[in-house]
Amino acid sequence: MNRPLRRMGAVVMLLFAVLLVNVNYLQAFRADDLRNRPGNSRTILEEYDRERGPILVDGRAVADSVATDDQLRYLRRYPSGPLFAHATGYYSYVYGAAGVERAENDVLAGNDDRLFVRRLGNLITGEEVQGGAVSLTLDPAAQQAAAEGLDGRKGAVVALDPTTGAILALVSSPTYDPNALSSHDGGAIRGAYEQLTADEDQPLLDRALRETYPPGSTFKLVTAAAALESGRYDPDSEVPGPAELDLPLTDVGLPNSDRAQCTPGSDTTTLTNALRRSCNSSFGAVGLDLGADALREQAQAFGFGQEDRTVPLTTATSAFPEDPDAPQTAQSAIGQFDVRATPLQVAMVAAGIANNGVVMEPYLVDQVQAPDLSVLDRTEPEELSAAVSPEVAAELRAMMVEVVEEGTGTNGQLDGVTVAGKTGTAQQGEGEPPHAWFTSFAPAGPGETARVAVAVVIEDGGGEAEISGNRLAAPIAQDVMAAVLGDGG
C-alpha cells in the first residue's frame, strides 16, 4: 500500500473513532436533554401517538386528551379555557410545552421512570401506553375568585396555605386560552402564538411567578419583622413619625403619602400605629437605624434572594439591593429604590407571619398519579426557614389585624372572620402610575390557625385615576379568602 492510501486510511479510521466517541457521548450524557428540548417534533409526534395524562384540580381535569381521526392520534384540551392557563401552560406540537405541561412532561407523557414497569407490562400485553396524571394544589373557588377580581386588568394573585406552602390560587392577568395553541392546525397555532407574543400586555407572561415589582409598603412587614427581631423594638416602641423624614446625604425628604404626621400633633408615633397608617417616615427611620444588612438578612429569611426556586414552575428572584447608601436604605425599608418581589414572594411573607414565623416552601403539584390514578408520589410540605420567632410573629399578626380593622386595609375585612393585612402603593418612575398591592391572611384571631394567605398586585393601578392598595387590591384578596374559608372559615 502506498503512502497516500495509508494516510487516507488513517484519516478515515480517525473520523470513525471521532464519530463513535460522539455517538456514545450523546447517548450517555445528552440524550435526555436533546429529547426534552421544547419543540423537538420527533418526540412530540411520538408522544401524540399515546394518550397523554390529565392535569387535575380537585379531581377534575383542567387538561386532558381526546382521540381524533387525523394524523396526530390525540388532541390536548383545556376544558376551563384561560382560567388555569398559567398553571397548566400549553402543549403544542409547534411550540412544545409550557407550565406544568413542561415541568411534569415525563409523567404526563408516560416516560417517567416510575411508570417503567407499567410500560413493560403494556409492551407484553400489547396495550396502549398511557401517561400519568398530575394533581395540582389549586382551589377552584379561589382561582375563580382571583380571576374574576382581576377582571382582565394587568396583575396577579397568589394564595397559599400558610401551614403547608400549597398554592391555592395562581392567576396572572391578562391570560390566554391554551386551546388555541394545542390544536392540530399548524397555521392556526402560529397565528394565535404570533398574536399573543405581539400583544403589548404580554398575556403569556406569568406575572404571579415570573415578574418582579417594587413591593411598596407591603415590604414594611419585613422592616417591622427586622425591628422586632432585633430586640430593640416592640409594637409600642416610639419611632419617628414626622410628615416628612429628612434623608441623610441629600436635600430631599421621604414624605408620608398624605403629607401629614403619623400621629397628629406629634413627630413620633408607635411602631404599631406606623404600620396601621403605613407611615413612610417611620419605616424609613427604622430602616436607617437597623441598617441595610439587617433588612437584607430579614428579607432573605422570608425567601428573598433565592435564585433556584421552582414550584415546579420556575420563579423569578426577589431581591433586596446589594449595597444601598443611607437614603437608598431608607427608601428600601418602604419597598422602594431597587427592592423587587414577585407576588408569590409577597404571599410568602404574609404566610410566614401567619404560620408562627415559619415559611414553608411553596408547591403547586400535590400528587403524581399512575394512569389508574394510584398515587406514585405525593409532595410533603417542607420548611424553608424560621423567618421570625413565634413571639415576633404573634406581634406582627396583631399589628396587621389593626391595619385591616382600623387602618389602611379596611376593604380586606370579612364578616365573622379576623383578617390580618397590609396595603401597598408602589411608586415607579417619574410619570408612571403606581402598582396597587394588598397582602393578608385569615383567620388571624389569637390562637387561630390561618388557612389562607394572599397577595394581590394590580399593575399600573389598573388604569384608575385613584390608586391605592385598599381600594383596588384588598377587595380581591377579600374574595379569595372568602372562597377558601367558605362559610365563615
**Cβ contacts of residue 385 below 8 Å, gap of 6+?**
301, 302, 303, 352, 358, 359
Distance separating alpha carbons of residues 332 and 200, to the nearest angstrom:
29
Distance separating alpha carbons of residues 478 and 413, to the nearest angstrom:
7
Percent of the chain predicted with pLDDT > 90: 78
pLDDT, position 28: 65
For the segment 338-347, the average pLDDT, to the nearest whole number, is 97
| Structure confidence by residue, pLDDT tens digits, 298-329 | 999 999 999 999 999 999 999 999 999 999 99
Mean pLDDT of the chain: 92
Cβ 229 vs Cβ 392: under 8 Å: yes
For the segment 48-60, the average pLDDT, to the nearest whole number, is 94
| Structure confidence by residue, pLDDT tens digits, 70-111 | 888 999 999 999 999 999 999 998 999 999 999 999 999 998
| Structure confidence by residue, pLDDT tens digits, 366-410 | 999 999 889 999 999 999 999 999 999 999 999 999 999 999 999
pLDDT, position 465: 66
Distance separating alpha carbons of residues 448 and 471, to the nearest angstrom:
27
**Cβ contacts of residue 82 below 8 Å, gap of 6+?**
147, 175, 176, 177, 178
Residue 80 appears among annotated catalytic residues: no
Looking up cell 406544568, which residue turns up?
100
- Is the per-residue pLDDT at 489 higher than 50? no
| Structure confidence by residue, pLDDT tens digits, 129-164 | 789 999 999 999 999 999 999 999 999 999 999 999
What CATH number should be reported for the domain whose range is 216-365+380-485?
3.40.710.10
> Could you say which of 183, 217, 278, 332 is catalytic?
217
pLDDT, position 29: 67
pLDDT, position 38: 57
pLDDT, position 167: 98
Percent of the chain predicted with pLDDT > 70: 94
For the segment 110-135, the average pLDDT, to the nearest whole number, is 80
pLDDT, position 40: 64
Question: 359 forms bridges with which residues in the sheet?
Answer: 385
Q: Which residue has the higher pLDDT, 483 or 469?
A: 483
Distance separating alpha carbons of residues 472 and 457, to the nearest angstrom:
9
- Is the per-residue pLDDT at 125 higher than 90? no
- Exposure string of 427-448, with b = 16+ CB inside 10 Å and e = fewer, is bbeeeebbbbbbbbbbbbeeee
Cβ 302 vs Cβ 242: under 8 Å: no
Ranges 179-183, 247-251, 265-269, 427-431: which has the least confidence: 427-431
Distance separating alpha carbons of residues 403 and 275, to the nearest angstrom:
7
Distance separating alpha carbons of residues 224 and 245, to the nearest angstrom:
17
Cell of 370: 399512575
Residue-range domain boundaries for the chain: 216-365+380-485
- Is the per-residue pLDDT at 488 higher than 70? no
Q: Positive or negative, the Cα torsion across 367, 368, 370, 372?
A: positive
The three state secondary structure string of the chain is CCHHHHHHHHHHHHHHHHHHHHHHHHHHHHHHHHHCCCCCHHHHHHHCCCECCCEEECCEEEEEEEECCCCCCEEEECCCHHHHHHHHCCEECCCEECCHHHHCHHHHHCCCHHHHHHHHHHHHHCCCCECCEEEECCCHHHHHHHHHHHCCCCEEEEEECCCCCEEEEEEEECCCCHHHHCCCCHHHHHHHHHHHHHCCCCCCCCHHHHCCECCHHHHHHHHHHHHHHCCCCCCCCEEECCCEEECCCCCCEEECCCCCCCECCECEEEHHHHHHHCCHHHHHHHHHHHCHHHHHHHHHHCCCCCCCCECCCECCCCECCCCCCHHHHHHHHCCCCCCEECHHHHHHHHHHHHCCCEEECCECEEEEECCCCCEEEECCCCEEEECCCHHHHHHHHHHHHHHHHHCCCHHHCECCECCEEEEEEECCCCCCCCEEEEEEEECCCCCCCCCEEEEEEEHHHHHCCCCCHHHHHHHHHHHHHHHHHCCCC
| Structure confidence by residue, pLDDT tens digits, 404-435 | 999 999 999 999 999 999 999 988 877 888 99
